[in-house]
Amino acid sequence: DDGSRLWLKYDLIKNKNVQSAYAKYNSIIIPSKKTPTIEKALEELQIGFKGLLGKNLTNNSKNNTTGGIKLEITNKEELTKDSPEDSFAIIVQKDNLTITSKTETGVLYGVFELLRNIQTEKIITKNIVSSPKVKLRMLNHWDNANGTVERGYAGSSIWKWNELPFRIDPRYITYARANASLGINATSINNVNASSRFLTAEYLEKIKAVADVLRPYGIKVFISVNFRSPRTLGGLKTSDPLDTDVRKWWIEKTKEIHQYIPDFGGYLVKANSEGEPGPQDYGRTHADGANMLAEAMKPYNGIVIWRAFVYNADPNGDRFKEGYEQFKPLDGKFDPKVIVQVKNGPIDFMPREPFHPMFGSFPKTKLGIEFQITQEYLGQSTHLTYLAPMFRECLDTDTYANGKGSTVSKVIDGSLYNSQMSLMAGVANTGSDANWCGHPFNQANWYAFGRLAWNHELSSEDIAKEWIGMTLTNNNNAKEKINAIMQKSLPTYIKYTYPLGLHHMMGEGHHYGPEPWLTKAARPDWTSIYYHRADSIGLGFDRTGKVSNAIKLYSKEIIDTWGNPDKCDLNYLLWFHHIPWSKKLNTGNSLWEELCYRYYSGVEETKNLQKEWNEMKPYIDKETYASVMARLKIQEKEAIWWRDSCVLYFKEFSKMPIPNNLILPNRTLEEVKKLVEIYHLR
């Protein structure tokens, strides 16, 4: 199995009970108006039943047959008038089953839900009603026109720009099915570090071809735009958002796009961030820039997604606060068509970050959340890290914005401020590798993101078990054990990379492996020492005092806990405090000891992962088993690399011995530093 079918394998179910429970279905009844989406639903149901149950479902026009699966667009009471768009119900009758929704996309989602149940060997006995919690469930591709993928670890881009619009790669269809199976309904197809090329007629024709493939699956296409396009493409002298000609240019461009893609999703913009152009180049604000694009979008349904990932290179500042401070004065100033997309944490997709303080502080702005599915800082394609627990941790945290229970999920699903627009975006991990995502387990992160975007109340365990059942094995015992491996994977990774709230100490540029000694970079806030602040006294970034006081961006309840070194969750400790090496933590160990123990136990756990995976061998396809095992070995080797680098480096500051129940690294700090130097050799 090369993994190319993702979780939509539809292999024959061996479980006899499941087989017989679904044996009675033999036909599909579809609405009289056969739209492209209904056609896809019909097709999927037929492929699914053929594969999973070996049954050919006929297409039946009669309404009152027995053994029919009816696809219906209607207003059933299960789906009340105010149920969110694309909600669906699966209604179990004596001899029939009805999949019903107010929309055709909802019907398609219902079909995928039914197939997921069969594939995970569940017998549906009760009605299922399901509604999306978030309106826009979106993938962000960081794919470039030349076929490379920024922070992509699974080969080149899935979009074959050189072949489009003439050739439609069959993988576009698998991609659409996979997303629709999760309820993902939007995708931005190009890198946020955007090339204006995507707005040329040549590229719009290509993007149109992709949009045409995705449309029947309920997926809308967005384009990331370069703010300087009026100059680079339009030949104007400026891209100033308040300039009449510039505004006209965007109005015309937006009109042109709609001629190709009538249901265009909208623009995604990274502006005045990491060297990208933006409204500040002309003395204007983010709101001026976003509102100009919203104006161009006015006649259409599309929207503008404006990213809040901005920070200046101030050696005396704190990058933690930048997004908040630049956007705070603009709360209430954005056009209703604008959503501000905020990364889950204030720095940059670290393995563990406190939630971004913008969540809960912007009552007058629609905020969407951006997670990173691609594992830039999380072991890329070689380490096993299941991310649902991280997504959940962020979504479940209470911002206390409107009193207790104001979780991040309530901010971003629109319920806290009663907003009609809501967005969850994930930076995609797809590539042209046969298995799409590199590490076989990385598929689970795409899967988990999509499931949580649909319903952020699903547990990370349930999602993992579903994915395992669809992808690896339905053996219950194995499912439990693999789920346990997945649940442990992120805490293990954090132990050997960034324990106790350390962050941003990765190798320069490529962001792989450790480089805690990184002192000089193009910008001070791209070094490691900016963040860990190790000195002879202790370790960690004091964000409660004179230097930064970023803790003040949170509500009182959070200041009382995270802001107090004795009450702060140890997982976030060094995010907010500079802790003396010898200070006793609530584990009974000093900071230095605790740090060492965590690095060492992280390594031990990578060994256990191999043992546990080895026990799974009888249940797993050979190729997948071997690929995961090889990667687990790499993971152990690199966990030791992280441990040795960080422990030896911090020891220079703590001047304390490595606890004597731990085995000393068998190399020196100079030797581990050399590894990084060699990496950068030409």
The residue ranges that bind ligand BDP (CB under 6 A) are 150-151, 192-193, 270, 274, 309, 348-349, 376
Closer by beta carbon to ligand BDP, 99 or else 192: 192
Closer by beta carbon to ligand BDP, 377 or else 649: 377
Closer by beta carbon to ligand BDP, 261 or else 310: 310
| Residue pair 407/396 in contact by the 8 Å Cβ criterion | yes
d(CA 336, CA 636): 49
d(CA 471, CA 181): 14
Closer by beta carbon to ligand BDP, 425 or else 595: 425
212 is catalytic: no
Closer by beta carbon to ligand BDP, 318 or else 376: 376
Closer by beta carbon to ligand BDP, 98 or else 191: 191
Closer by beta carbon to ligand BDP, 139 or else 485: 139
Please state the closest distance from residue 290 (CB atom) to ligand BDP, in A.
16
Q: What tokens were used for 203? A: 């590229």
Please state the closest distance from residue 370 (CB atom) to ligand BDP, in A.
8
Please state the closest distance from residue 29 (CB atom) to ligand BDP, in A.
47
**By Cβ distance, which residue is nearest to ligand BDP?**
348
d(CA 389, CA 395): 10
d(CA 307, CA 535): 35
Catalytic residue of the set 274, 314, 396, 569: 274
Residue type, 170: P
Q: What tokens were used for 559? A: 């200041």
Closer by beta carbon to ligand BDP, 253 or else 270: 270
Q: Angle of helix 201-214 relative to helix 244-260, nearest 10 degrees?
A: 50
Please state the closest distance from residue 372 (CB atom) to ligand BDP, in A.
7
d(CA 621, CA 507): 34
d(CA 185, CA 138): 6
Catalytic residue of the set 44, 376, 466, 542: 376
542 is catalytic: no
325 is catalytic: no
- DSSP string spanning 188-225? E-S-SS--GGGGSHHHHHHHHHHHHHHGGGT-EEEEEE
- DSSP string spanning 156-183? S-S--TTTTTT---HHHHHHHHHHHHHT
∠ CA 177-178-179, nearest 5°, is 90
Strand order in the sheet with 128-130: 58-60, 27-29, 68-73, 97-101, 88-92, 128-130
Please state the closest distance from residue 533 (CB atom) to ligand BDP, in A.
21
Task: Find, among 114, 111, 109, the residue nearest to 131 by Cα.
Answer: 109
Task: Find, among 141, 121, 144, the residue nearest to 186 by Cα.
Answer: 141
Please state the closest distance from residue 369 (CB atom) to ligand BDP, in A.
13
Please state the closest distance from residue 374 (CB atom) to ligand BDP, in A.
10
Catalytic residue of the set 72, 86, 113, 348: 348
Q: Position of tokens 């290179």?
A: 313
Closer by beta carbon to ligand BDP, 133 or else 356: 356
- DSSP string spanning 374-419? S-TTTTTTTS----HHHHHHHHHSB--BTBTT-BHHHHHTSTTTT-
Please state the closest distance from residue 320 (CB atom) to ligand BDP, in A.
15
- Exposed/middle/buried for residue 35 (C-beta within 10 Å: 0-12, 13-18, 19+): middle
Please state the closest distance from residue 508 (CB atom) to ligand BDP, in A.
11
| Residue pair 612/485 in contact by the 8 Å Cβ criterion | yes
- Exposed/middle/buried for residue 507 (C-beta within 10 Å: 0-12, 13-18, 19+): middle
The residues annotated as belonging to the active site are 274, 348, 376
